[in-house]
């Protein structure tokens, strides 16, 4: 079917020669610039978008911003306009293929080849990020590889142009989210917000795909893929390609962290990490793989012609930025065949006959254009080396890390966040910058942003209680910047030599260099010996053993105060503190003590009474006409129990 747009001349300058690619948002044509007699690519916006004033306005502003980029790894945008109801963009025509085509043909790339492709991509993105432009749709379809091996990033500004449009919100009921779901960052999917770190995430996904041959996530629906981006960490490429260096896994992990704050701050930072890793691994530079075979350029499949997807595999090879629910498609495809950029699809632009005067006019116009270009260039250089390359460092103290990064990038400066503890500034807020606020700095200068980590606090883990003191002391010394001192304490639960606790208690927030006392158990505290005298041996033993003592019984003794069969003595003495589980000795009474009866015969009553009482005996006297002891009831020298009564008979001496 003939495309009705082919043959139109836009703004009297660009004649559309052939449709080379078509997508959901735009169609790409090869065209002839009638003014400069060169072949260009013209991208015409889809009709339903061309009638949306909000989109056209944003597209126009973003196209102008993209046109300001001048970098060998960015597809050059030379013009933008609208004519005959068509909104269009004019850019250079790149001959070769997309990275998607290369991966389709090769399956996956080596680490060296993947680096060779990613480095120029990041170089182009670095120029964009420093100009305040976020691509928002990095994917293999938007990476063009020329037949000469030059890598260019296409479609700058288009995804950003539609952000904020009322139809550009994620929805399951007709709403759309601009971009290709397989490469969108979690913040784009969750909040519709994107910055330079969103491009880093997409570049990390592209690196994963180059190393493995496919994106990390797949699913039956775009929503299923989006869910995995938001809730899962990107797997390590080496899980699928054994032998990949672990450092490459870490690079992919850093660039695809779900938290934007954990990724490289922009493409320049990512490129620096890539260069450092190349040096660390000793990876020698290799040519960018172009996919050309030894049969010559004729075997290279044209990539700016639409390809028919296979029925069983809708491979993302069609042009156009995709929407949620659509397949992955690129917004620009390079021209087919090989040769100079004035050739498209293997044809030379038509040579129109002319008279020598026409040739002279063209040469004159070209000379004027060259002079004007030189004037503009000299002016731009003068502006740059005058005031244009200087900018003021914005005031960032107290602002969030994300806000500070945005303000610095808007000012053309490169943020370099570092974190420090602060007792006065809340965590996540900016403490200071270097250079300071209001200072002049050259655009592109690194600005150190000191971000607060909040008050410096540490905690001792409760898990250390009950462990050997040497172990605990070593662990605290290695892990916490606090001062440690030891103290011995009794603990009824913790064995001697183990840590019984801390002062301040474990879990308390500690400042740097704060003194922490490690309480080392001396074992169970000493136990006071109870008074078990007067108890039966069985009662006394039970009571002592209940307190942890071991009970031993000494030889029985006699006591005037304790009845026979009761405990008369305890060692250690009652009330004394004895070590836990030590031995307590008890002695049981056999009755009162035995005493020897003195000989009191011949003594006076008073003398005999005194002697017998002194021996612990009771005295009873019977008088018979005298006051001298004539007889005693218990013979002298006999042993009797203390308290025994002795009767004395008194008579004349």
To the query of whether residue 137 is one of the catalytic residues in this protein, the response is yes
Which of 445, 443, 444, 446 is closest to 386 using CA atoms?
Answer: 443
21/29 Cα distance (integer angstroms): 7
- CA–CA separation, 198 vs 262, rounded Å? 12
Do residues 225 and 217 make contact, with C-beta atoms less than 8 angstroms apart? Answer: yes
Cβ(235)–Cβ(219) below 8 Å: no
Instruction: Indicate the SS3 state at residue 545.
Output: helix
Q: What is the largest CA-CA distance in the chain?
A: 188
Neighbours of 573 (CB within 10 A): 11
CA distance 61 to 75: 17
Q: How many CB atoms lie within 10 A of CB 253?
A: 18
Token pair recorded at residue 162:
């539609």
**Residue 470 has what DSSP assignment?**
H
Q: Over the range 130-152, which residues count as b (16 or more CB within 10 Å of their CB) and which as e?
A: bbebbbbbbbbbbbbbbbeeebb
- Give the DSSP letter string of 235-296: PPGGGTSTT--HHHHHHHHHHT-SSGGGS-SSHHHHHHHHHHHHHHHT----PPP----TT-
Q: Helices (DSSP H) in 467-591: which residue ranges?
A: 469-479, 537-546
Residue whose C-alpha is closest to residue 137's, from 162, 156, 118: 156
Of 174, 176, 161, which Cα lies nearest the Cα of 43? 161
How many Cβ atoms sit within 10 Å of the Cβ of residue 393? 20
Question: Of these residues, 137, 195, 266, 414, which one is catalytic?
Answer: 137
Q: Does residue 591 have a cis peptide bond before it, meaning omega lies within 30 degrees of 0?
A: no
Cβ count near 634 (within 10 Å):
17
> Which tokens go with 298?
């004729």
What is the set of active-site residues?
137
């Amino acid at each position: 079917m003939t495309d009705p747009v082919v043959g139109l001349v836009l703004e009297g300058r660009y004649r559309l020669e052939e449709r080379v690619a078509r997508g959901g948002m735009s169609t790409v044509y090869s065209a002839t610039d009638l003014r400069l007699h060169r072949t260009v690519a013209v991208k015409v916006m889809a009709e339903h978008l061309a009638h949306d004033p909000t989109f056209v306005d944003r597209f126009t502003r973003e196209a102008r911003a993209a046109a300001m980029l001048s970098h060998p790894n960015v597809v050059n945008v030379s013009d933008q306009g609208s004519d005959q109801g068509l909104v269009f963009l004019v850019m250079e025509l790149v001959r070769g293929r997309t990275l998607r085509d290369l991966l389709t043909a090769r399956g996956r790339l080596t680490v060296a080849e993947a680096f060779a492709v990613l480095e120029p991509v990041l170089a182009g993105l670095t120029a964009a990020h420093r100009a305040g432009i976020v691509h928002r749709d990095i994917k293999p379809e938007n990476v063009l590889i020329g037949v000469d091996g030059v890598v260019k990033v296409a479609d700058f500004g288009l995804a950003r142009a539609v952000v904020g449009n009322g139809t550009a919100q994620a929805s399951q009921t007709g709403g759309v989210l601009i971009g290709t779901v397989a490469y969108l960052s979690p913040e784009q999917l969750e909040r519709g917000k994107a910055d330079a770190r969103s491009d880093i995430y997409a570049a990390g996904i592209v690196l994963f795909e180059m190393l493995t041959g496919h994106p990390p996530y797949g699913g039956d629906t775009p929503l299923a893929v989006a869910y995995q981006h938001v809730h899962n960490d990107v797997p390590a490429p080496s899980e699928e390609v054994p032998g990949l260096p672990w450092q490459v896994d870490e690079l992919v992990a850093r660039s695809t962290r779900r938290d934007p704050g954990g990724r490289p701050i922009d493409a320049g930072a990512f490129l620096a990490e890539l260069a450092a890793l190349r040096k660390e691994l000793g990876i020698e530079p290799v040519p960018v793989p172009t996919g050309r075979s030894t049969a010559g350029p004729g075997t290279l499949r044209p990539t700016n012609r639409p390809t028919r997807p296979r029925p069983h595999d809708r491979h993302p090879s069609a042009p156009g930025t995709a929407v949620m629910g659509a397949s992955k498609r690129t917004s620009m495809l390079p021209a087919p065949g090989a040769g100079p950029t004035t050739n498209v699809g293997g044809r030379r632009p038509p040579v129109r006959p002319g008279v020598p005067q026409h040739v002279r006019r063209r040469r004159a116009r070209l000379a004027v254009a060259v002079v004007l270009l030189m004037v503009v260039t000299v002016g731009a250089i003068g502006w740059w080396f005058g005031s244009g390359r200087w900018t003021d460092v914005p005031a960032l103290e107290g602002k969030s890390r994300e806000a500070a990064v945005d303000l610095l990038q808007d000012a053309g400066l490169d943020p370099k966040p570092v974190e420090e503890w602060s007792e006065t500034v809340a965590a996540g807020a900016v403490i200071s910058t270097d250079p300071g606020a209001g200072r002049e700095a050259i655009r592109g200068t690194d600005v150190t942003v000191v971000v607060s980590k909040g008050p410096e606090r540490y905690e001792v883990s409760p898990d250390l209680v009950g462990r050997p003191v040497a172990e605990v002391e070593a662990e605290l010394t290695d892990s916490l910047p606090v001062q440690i001192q030891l103290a011995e304490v009794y603990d009824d639960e913790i064995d001697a030599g183990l840590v019984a606790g801390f002062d301040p208690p474990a879990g308390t927030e500690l400042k740097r260099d704060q003194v922490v006392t490690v309480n080392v158990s001396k074992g169970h505290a000493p136990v006071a010996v109870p008074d078990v005298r007067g108890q039966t041996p069985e009662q006394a033993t039970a009571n002592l053993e209940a307190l942890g003592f071991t009970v031993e019984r000494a030889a029985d003794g006699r006591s005037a105060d304790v009845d026979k069969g009761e405990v008369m003595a305890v060692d250690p003495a009652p009330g004394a503190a004895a070590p836990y589980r030590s031995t307590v000795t008890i002695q049981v009474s056999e009755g009162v003590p035995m005493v020897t009866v003195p000989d009191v015969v011949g003594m006076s009553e008073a003398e005999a009474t005194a002697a017998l009482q002194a021996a612990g005996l009771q005295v009873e006297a019977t008088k018979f006409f005298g006051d001298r002891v004539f007889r005693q009831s218990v013979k002298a020298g006999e042993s009797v129990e203390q308290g025994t009564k002795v009767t004395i008979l008194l008579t004349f001496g």
